[in-house]
A and B are shown apart, each in its own frame.
Chain A
């Protein structure tokens, strides 16, 4: 009788521990998904801001058509890469960042532009968006690290194996040797 009670108690305690681990894994996974969507929101915001910027500066910069074209093309490429997984997307967004950097460098040469209120506020918005992207990426990578640790470390790795939790990719992981995150990107 006592033995039965002890066994039951042990089973119940084990069940509670298992449930706790499972729930925490689900919570971590949701955090990873959510932080990924945060990056996505900011990327879209940047894509939306760029045409305004190009419009605002293009009359001043008749000699810099090449720089402007590069930005526009990089934006189009980044939007296209949106549904090709984080690897391709990160690459395209990097190109866009580079092209924006050279655009802002060129703006420095035009005193008229630097004094233009519209350009200034667009520049602030783009800087903020860049920062938000990098902070969202930082938070995403931190979330992935915690989640992957949970999946790979004992004892939660047992639960993770049973319920098919899979590790996620860092935003800039080397070659796609890990499973691509299941995220909905448009």
Chain B
């Protein structure tokens, strides 16, 4: 886990450096093409570079607020949503975090959830209304444990920065492309023929770069999410000691075909499952998927619980809870598991198919 935290801290710095460099380069090429000459390039390089640094700092400190605002999330208190609040507090204790994250609700019927922030002291969890209505307490616990693992790992810092910075690169490149297509380039005047030719070449380079920059940025985004989701699933089980809760929750989420209105390409990777729903049931993950195939995640969780897919059927809930799957359930059943005589095992059985085993 500490290895994970270190990696996320380093990755966050690298990402900010990369984005500043990329934008400065973009600024130089666009500047040279549009304003003309090296001085124009350097001028726009400076402007873009400073803007990128400022935006990185802003993204680091208030990226979470931007993400929450874009997602239409509203902060709630214990009085508003006692059960959600309690489940989050339970998982905070299980994870040994000093204080619970801020709790937000997104008023949408599609079940989904995400966590954001820069460290466990400045973290937020957002859950959709549909998630709270559709899932029982045990399943909600699994989902919240998954988000808590992202918080504990500092995944949230990196993922939030990716959203903010990738979003910006896409925005800038998009803006430039549109602007150049609508004849913005015609403002170059007064130069000689040779200058015009050089300008044309630079223009092509600028357009190519403007297309490539967001692609590069997106591929960073795709690369990060998939392994992290498996890892967060595994650590969620370490917290709840109940793989079935999360497995059933993912099953319910997979069953819902509706896309999340408030999600977009810059924030999609934050969610527990891809909110943009080009839902596939395929077993292999494509290059441009932000999330691993949900069926595969469910299969891994079921394997941890040593049960078959029939355990996902709601009718069997009572039976699996009685079998002592781990964490306490709703109501009276919850009381029973609370004081087991033996200290709980330190680690759940390692997931057989998860890429890297989480460092203990």
Using a CB–CB distance below 8 Å, which chain A residues touch chain B? Answer: 31, 35, 38, 42, 90, 93-94, 97, 100-101, 104-105, 107-108, 121, 123-125, 127-128, 130-139, 141-143, 145, 170-173
B343 touches A136 (CB 8 A): no
Q: Does B186 count as interface, using CB distance less than 8 angstroms?
A: no
Q: Could you tell me if B334 and A130 are in contact, using CB atoms closer than 8 angstroms?
A: yes
Contacts of B344 in A (CB 8 A): 138, 141-142
| A172: chain B residues within 8 A (beta carbon) | 339-343
Q: With a CB–CB cut-off of 8 A, which chain A residues contact B93?
A: 38, 42, 132, 135-136, 139
Contact A104 B331 (CB under 8 A): yes
Asked if B346 is at the interface of the complex by the 8 Å CB criterion, the answer is yes
Q: Is the CB of B241 within 8 A of A138?
A: yes
Segment at the A interface, from B10-18, B24-32, B83-91, B105-113: B83-91
Q: Which of B90, B94, B96, B332 contacts A128 (CB 8 A)?
A: B90
Contacts of A97 in B (CB 8 A): 335, 338-339
Per the bound structure, the CA–CA distance linking A149 and B51 in Å amounts to 50
Task: Please determine whether B82 and A134 come into contact, CB atoms closer than 8 angstroms.
Answer: no
Q: What are the residues of chain A within 8 A of B94 when measuring CB–CB?
A: 135, 138-139
- 15 pairs of residues in contact across A and B, judged by CB atoms under 8 Å: A38-B93, A100-B335, A104-B332, A107-B332, A127-B335, A128-B89, A128-B90, A131-B86, A135-B239, A137-B339, A138-B241, A138-B344, A139-B96, A141-B343, A173-B343
Contact of A130 with B343 in the complex, beta carbons under 8 Å: no
Contact A133:B338 (CB < 8 A) given known A105-B332, A121-B82, A141-B344: yes
Residue interface bits B314-335, CB-to-A below 8 A is 1, else 0: 0000000000000110111011
Q: Given the interface contacts A130-B328, A132-B89, does A94 sit within 8 Å of B343 by beta carbon?
A: no
Extra A-B contacts (9), CB below 8 Å, given A127-B86, A127-B328: A97-B339, A108-B332, A121-B82, A128-B86, A132-B86, A134-B339, A136-B93, A141-B344, A171-B343
Give the residue of B87, B91, B335 whose beta carbon is less than 8 angstroms from that of A130: B335
A127 contact from B96, B241, B330, B339, Cβ within 8 A: B330
Tell me the nearest residue of chain B to A95, going by C-beta: B339
Q: Is residue B337 contacting chain A, with contact meaning CB distance below 8 A?
A: yes
Instruction: Name the residue of chain A whose CB is nearest to the CB of B94.
Output: A135
Q: Does B38 contact A (CB under 8 A)?
A: no
Query: Given that A124-B82, A136-B93 are contacting pairs, would A131 and B332 also be in contact in the complex, using a CB cutoff of 8 Å?
Result: no
The complex places the Cα of A107 from the Cα of B239 at a distance, in Å, of 30
Q: Quick check: A131 and B331 within 8 Å, CB to CB?
A: no
- Please state if A134 and B96 are interface contacts (CB–CB under 8 Å): no
Counted as pairs of residues, one from A and one from B, with CB atoms less than 8 Å apart, the total is: 92
Chain A residues in 8 Å Cβ range of B133 = none
Residues of A within 8 A of B86 (CB): 124-125, 127-128, 131-132
Could you tell me the distance between the alpha carbons of A145 and B94 in the complex, rounded to whole angstroms?
A: 15
| CB within 8 Å of A: which B126-174 residues | 137, 141
Nearest neighbor of B334 in chain A, beta-carbon distance: A127
Q: Are B82 and A125 touching (Cβ within 8 A)?
A: yes
Query: Is B75 positioned at the interface, with any CB of A under 8 Å from its CB?
Result: no
Residue of A135, A141, A170 with most partner-chain B CB within 10 A? A135
- How many Å lie between the Cα of A107 and that of B346 in the bound state? 36
For A100, list chain B residues within 8 Å (CB).
335
B339:A90 contact, CB within 8 angstroms: yes
Query: For the complex, what is the distance from the CA of A172 to the CA of B341, rounded to whole Å?
Result: 6
Do the beta carbons of A131 and B334 come within 8 Å of each other?
Answer: yes
B89, B341, B344: residue with the most chain A Cβ atoms closer than 10 Å = B344
A123, B331: Cβ atoms closer than 8 Å: yes
Q: A124-B86, A136-B93, A170-B343 are in contact. Are A131 and B338 (CB under 8 A)?
A: yes
Q: In the complex, which residue of chain B has the Cβ closest to the Cβ of A107? A: B332
What is the bound-complex CA distance between A39 and B301, given in angstroms?
A: 29
The interface residues of chain A lying within 8 Å CB-to-CB of B336 are: 101
Contacts of A94 in B (CB 8 A): 339
A127 nearest in chain B by CB position: B334
A93 near B339: Cβ-Cβ < 8 Å: yes
State how many angstroms separate the Cβ of B153 from the closest Cβ of chain A.
17
Write out the residue numbers on chain B whose beta carbons fall within 8 Å of the beta carbon of A137. Answer: 339
Name B332's closest neighbour in chain A (CB-CB).
A104
Tell me the bound Cα distance from A31 to B344 in angstroms. Answer: 18
